[in-house]
């Protein structure tokens, strides 16, 4: 079993401590240049952490001979499975405080392997944490408890094949460990796509998307992975569960909805039948600039409540537009995009731009020819979108606190919510650090009844206390979201880091029902203990 974090599809090495590939990380000079944008950051970047410097002890559990071919205790593999890729994970690694490192990493290749590993773990009191691409940003892939003497990280990425395609039903049976690029590469020869592209697409798996109810970056209609699920297969300590393939059903509570978003606490999703579609052939995009952010909100609401259904309808406030290079004059920028597998989209793009202009926007629809270069603002945003997680890690090396949190609320709440987050979270960040802070906002997904604002906080941290600073900021943000009846998470899991906000929002009877389900399916309470259902 390979113990390195090398991506077999690219021969590039994944970072054990930060985002993405090691060869794409900012070098020291770029870190210093970026850090200079935030007053109070370090004079030079923190060194890149080494696994050799971590205190990694001997495993506290030994698997039976029948499972040893699936399991490794290699320090590099264990370190790479210790945490996700949130800001607090990255800065903890940089400061040499990664937390509890799993004793073992298992890479099953079939359902029976998963069942055998769960049986062994249940008999020996070993906690099991299902692990996909490791891009978790809510503390969902690490162990923070005390009830288990050993921890096993269950890496599903060796189960990454498209097993079957039903062209008549336009669906595909896909193993849960399929990373985004490999999944799409297997569908492409058939002219099909799942059309689910979260920012973590390169480094996340189908099973991870399902277990966290992930959102992609398409702005309207099918925004979440839930919409594409036809049926699931899940291995639990109590046995296997496979739902029927149906286009729709009113037969009681949905078994698929039961496992979607359960974050591995109820069972290990091993495969799913997913609804797929033809690959788009017609695409067009444009940007519209606004002098007034609140008029831009009105424009986005008008587009969301039309029948135009853009694939991209992303609103960037002046700070976000400047950061992405979409605007340098203080404008708010709306990025619009349309696509279709069957018909031209230029008329829909023109109609959306006209709606935006009716609300004070400045912009023209670009030609829909595929060979036409993208609008400059659209291209700048797309490049910045893909590069941003690497830049965040570079700023973390400079001692900065840089993180994004997201939510969703109804249209009547959105303006006051955005103003409150900017004011209160910005003030909390400045108070906690003694440095000026920025809070930028973008709308990423829009619905007829509301939208999903995403906020990025950036401030120089207190050296050595960056995690505590972020936790204080997050507590203020959670309070603001709760007061405005906004969700604690729009597009991914609760994990451990969103628990305070989630506990405020879930009804007590629902929490009791979830606990009962977990007790029934996991009598040994070994699966991802402490996440979501406690």
Summarize the annotated binding site as residue ranges.
Answer: 130-136, 263-269, 392
Binding residues for substrate: 392
Q: Measured on CA atoms in the order 414, 417, 423, 426, is the torsion positive or negative?
A: negative
- In 10 A of CB 59, how many CB atoms? 18
Tell me 449's DSSP state: T
Retrieve residue 82's tokens: 């210790």
Hey, is 301 helix, strand or coil?
helix
Half-sphere exposure of 167 (CA within 13 A, CB side): 5
Distance CA 498, CA 467 (A): 15
Distance CA 135, CA 286 (A): 30
Q: Which letter, b or e, does each residue of 187-216 get, where b requires 16 or more Cβ atoms within 10 Å of its Cβ?
A: beeeebbbbbebbbbbbbbbbbbbbbbbbb
Binding residues for FAD: 130-136, 263-269
Between helices 466-483 and 426-433, what is the axis angle to 10°? 160
Residue 17's closest CA among 460, 394, 398?
Answer: 394
Distance CA 91, CA 55 (A): 17
- Catalytic option among 21, 87, 143, 454: 454
454: annotated active-site residue = yes
Residue 152's closest CA among 67, 234, 71?
Answer: 71
Query: Residue 510: left if φ>0, alpha if ψ -120 to 50, beta else—which one?
Result: alpha
Distance CA 403, CA 509 (A): 33
Active site residues: 454
């Amino acid at each position: 079993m390979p113990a390195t974090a090398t991506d077999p599809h690219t021969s590039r090495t994944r970072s054990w401590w930060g985002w993405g590939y090691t060869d794409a990380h900012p070098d020291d000079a770029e870190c210093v240049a970026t850090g200079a944008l935030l007053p109070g950051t370090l004079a030079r970047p923190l060194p890149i952490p080494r696994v050799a410097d971590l205190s990694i002890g001997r495993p506290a559990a030994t698997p039976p001979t029948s499972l040893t071919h699936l399991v490794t205790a290699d320090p590099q593999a264990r370190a790479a499975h210790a945490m996700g890729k949130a800001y607090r994970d990255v800065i903890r690694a940089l400061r040499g405080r990664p937390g509890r490192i799993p004793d073992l990493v298992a890479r099953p290749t079939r359902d029976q392997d998963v069942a055998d590993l769960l049986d062994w773990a249940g008999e020996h009191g070993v906690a099991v944490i299902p692990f996909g691409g490791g891009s978790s940003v809510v503390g969902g892939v690490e162990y923070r408890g005390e009830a288990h003497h050993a921890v096993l990280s269950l890496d599903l990425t060796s189960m990454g094949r498209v097993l079957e395609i039903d062209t008549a039903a336009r669906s595909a049976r896909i193993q849960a460990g399929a990373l985004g690029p490999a999944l799409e590469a297997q569908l492409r020869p058939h002219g099909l796509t799942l059309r689910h592209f979260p920012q973590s697409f390169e480094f996340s798996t189908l099973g991870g998307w399902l277990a966290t109810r992930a959102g992609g970056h398409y702005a309207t209609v099918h925004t979440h992975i839930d919409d594409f699920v036809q049926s699931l297969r899940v291995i639990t300590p109590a046995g296997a569960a496979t739902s029927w393939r149906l286009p729709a059903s009113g037969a009681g509570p949905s078994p698929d909805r039961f496992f979607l978003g359960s974050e591995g606490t109820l069972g290990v999703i091993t495969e799913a039948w997913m609804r797929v579609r033809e690959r788009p052939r017609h695409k067009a995009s444009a940007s519209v600039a606004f002098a007034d952010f609140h008029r831009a909100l009105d424009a986005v609401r008008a587009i969301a409540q039309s029948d135009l259904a853009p694939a991209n309808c992303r609103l960037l406030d002046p700070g976000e537009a400047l950061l992405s290079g979409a605007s340098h004059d203080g404008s708010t920028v709306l990025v619009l995009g349309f696509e279709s597998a069957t018909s031209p989209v230029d008329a829909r793009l023109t109609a959306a731009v006209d709606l935006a202009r009716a609300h004070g926007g400045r912009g023209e629809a670009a030609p829909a020819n595929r060979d036409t270069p993208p609008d400059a603002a659209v291209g700048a945003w797309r490049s910045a979108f893909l590069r941003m997680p690497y830049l965040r890690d570079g700023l973390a090396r400079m001692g900065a606190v840089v993180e994004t949190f997201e939510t969703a609320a109804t249209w009547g709440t959105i303006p006051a919510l955005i103003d409150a987050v900017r004011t209160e979270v910005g003030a909390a960040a400045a108070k906690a650090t003694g440095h000026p802070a920025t809070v930028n906002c973008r709308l990423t997904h829009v619905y007829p009844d509301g939208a999903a604002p995403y906020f990025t906080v950036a401030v120089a941290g207190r050296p050595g206390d960056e995690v505590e600073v972020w936790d204080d900021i997050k507590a203020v943000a959670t309070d603001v979201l709760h007061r405005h009846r906004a969700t604690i998470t729009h597009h991914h899991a609760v994990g451990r880091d969103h628990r305070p906000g989630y506990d405020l929002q879930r009804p007590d009877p629902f929490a009791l029902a979830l606990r009962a389900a977990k007790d029934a399916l996991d009598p040994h309470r070994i699966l991802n203990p402490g996440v979501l259902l406690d």
